[in-house]
Amino acid sequence: MAKYFTRHMLYKMRNNIPLVDVLVALQWPHKMRDERVCFVCPQCSESLTAINQRTNLGRCFRCEINFNSIDLVMLIKEYDFVAAVQFLQQRFPTSI
């Protein structure tokens, strides 16, 4: 697989793959709470989190960190950037 990725492809990967689908693919703990998806923060392990559907970003309110799909794969799987992008390419080819 390629080690170089176009800006457009990375933009689509961050914005077109629903973050909740990434959590499912990673088998990462998450649940619905008051019509919002919450997940365990891969940085601090707290659940004071939410996914903003409009921006497709996850937010940990304890760490004050935002996560996109690539960030989550890198942290949860302990992959580097290239491996994280390849993981998403393999699992979500039609979204990219």
* Among candidate residues 73, 59, 60, the one with its CA nearest the CA of residue 13: 73
Task: Please check whether residue 36 is in contact with residue 51, taking contact to mean a CB–CB distance below 8 angstroms.
Answer: yes
Query: With a threshold of 0.85, does the pTM exceed it?
Result: yes
Domains of the chain: 7-89 (3.90.580.10)
**pLDDT tens digit sequence for 10-66:** 999 999 999 999 999 999 999 998 889 999 999 999 999 999 999 999 999 999 999
Please, which contacts does 21-28 make with residues 24 or more away whose CB atoms are closer than 8 Å? 21/92, 22/69, 22/72, 22/73, 22/88, 23/72, 25/91, 25/92, 26/72, 26/73, 26/76, 26/77, 28/72, 28/76
